[in-house]
Amino acid sequence: MADEPHQDATYLAQQVASGAVSADELLDEALARVAAMNPALNAVVMIEEDAARRAIKAGLPEGPFRGVPFLIKDLGAEAIDFPTNSGSNLLRGTRYTYDSAIFNRMRATGVVTFGRTTSPEGGIGPVTEAAVYGGPTRNPWDLSRTSGGSSGGSGAAVAAGIVPMAHGSDGGGSVRIPASSCGLFGFKATRARFPDGPAAGEGWAGMAIDGFLSHSVRDNAAMMDACAGADPGAPYVAPAMEMTYAAAISRPPRPLRFGVCDTTFTGGAIDPECRAAVNKTAELLEDLGHSVAPALPRADHAGMMQAWTRVVACGTALWIESAARAQGRDVRQGDVQGIAASAMTFAKGISGAQYLAAVNAVHAYGRQMAACFDDYDILLCATLAEPPAEVGRFTHERDDYQTYRVGAGGVFEYSPFCAAFNASGQPAASLPLHWTASGLPVGVHLAADYGADATLIALCAQLEQAAPWAHRKAPILGEYLA
């Protein structure tokens, strides 16, 4: 399963359709890989093999991924058959009485969901080190490094070859950060491209959205097509696409204007490996017939980060208080880890007026970023300012949420690019186009104008063809296959 570059989820579904392999056999292999690799990775949790076998026996939908093993993030994607911890002891073993719209759409593709993947508590942070899972989730390329967050379990599971694609979500880079950290493709669609219901109208004031981690662009495109579209009653919808994601990747993009930023958005230095990844990609784009020029997007980046921090703190307080109330009690000492607890404390100091001011600041930032795209079609930068961090660097066992996010050495210094496009709502993607001399993946980040998903994914497919990455295998997978 997925041992050669072409053996992505699309290929495996074709093998099932031809009768060369069965869905049960693919599930057997996925479970064997969990047994072999998960003790080192700590990426796959809450396995529900019986639910997966029942789905196969009942007859899988005739979708593009019929019979392919699949994992959903342990945060959101509410499903009756798949209880959740949401990365927290407070929510340990929560069961749902309904299936979410996004889960129903994923299931309709024919995937065989058999478990969940680890997430940091409440989805806060660029690492996945939640206490509820008994330890950190580690990177298949180097077990001393983080797989990223908050979809870090999905990133690790896909990079390790346990599944060819997995569900994630992205409220500040949570698909793109693990994609960069684990040598994968991750795409954050335009705001509201996918449904949030019925549990919520929006996540984090519209900054959060579901997404997928994959080896191939075509897998991501097909899954996004299957999941796109608002659910009934959604408060707003994404602009219609000029064509489907799958149609867009079938043709090369037109010659595009690129703004190239090999620093932070405020001109600060980034790691030399990350800078090299950006400049190498810029040269490749010129070879492909695109035009490139230096760019520094002029917007209130610091103000956006402060506003993002306030909005997410209030969102964290909401889920903690709601979870305790559902259990008929008050929040207790030790219910949540230090970062979530301090986020809740921080939120208590934010008035309703200040919260709305933060939302307005996020919206103002979106308009500022939109104006930047008058000068170019695509903004190219690094996904992270450094290669993947060492495990423990961004531990949640601390009680300084605001400093953790925006302070010196904090999350926004490590990941200064991704959240910009959650705030603006623009589509953005991380592509695995560079590896360090020591073998760590470094993602390259591309962002397009609001609603221009088709242009962006067509470009991603062009780069995948020009600089293929699927032949690279993480060491832990190589050891398994040896």
Catalytic member of 100, 154, 169, 174: 174
SS (H, E, C) 13-67: HHHHHHCCCCHHHHHHHHHHHHHHHHHHHCCEECCCHHHHHHHHHHCCCCCCCCC
Model confidence over 159-210: pLDDT tens digits? 999 999 999 999 999 999 999 999 999 999 999 999 999 988 999 999 999 9
- The yes-or-no answer on residue 180 being catalytic is no
| pLDDT the model gives residue 7 | 86
Beta carbons of 228 and 246 less than 8 angstroms apart: no
CATH fold group of domain 9-481: Amidase signature (AS) enzymes (3.90.1300)
Closest listed residue to residue 358, CA positions, set 398, 418, 402: 402
Helices (H) and strands (E) in the chain, counts: 17, 13
Q: Please list, in sequence order, all residues whose beta carbon lies within 8 angstroms of the beta carbon of residue 246, skipping any fewer than 6 positions away.
A: 218, 221, 222, 225
Torsions phi, psi of 435, nearest 5?
Answer: -130, 145
Closest listed residue to residue 399, CA positions, set 347, 343, 348: 343
How far, in Å, CA of 282 to CA of 255, rounded? 13
Q: What is the pTM of this model?
A: 0.98
| pLDDT the model gives residue 5 | 43
Catalytic member of 88, 150, 169, 180: 150
Model confidence over 1-48: pLDDT tens digits? 544 445 899 999 999 999 999 999 999 999 999 999 999 999 999 999
Q: Running along the chain, 482 residues long, what does each successive block of 10 average in pLDDT?
A: 67 97 98 98 98 98 98 98 97 97 98 98 96 98 98 98 98 98 98 95 96 98 98 96 97 97 98 98 98 98 98 98 96 95 98 98 98 98 98 97 97 98 98 98 98 98 97 95 90
- The yes-or-no answer on residue 174 being catalytic is yes
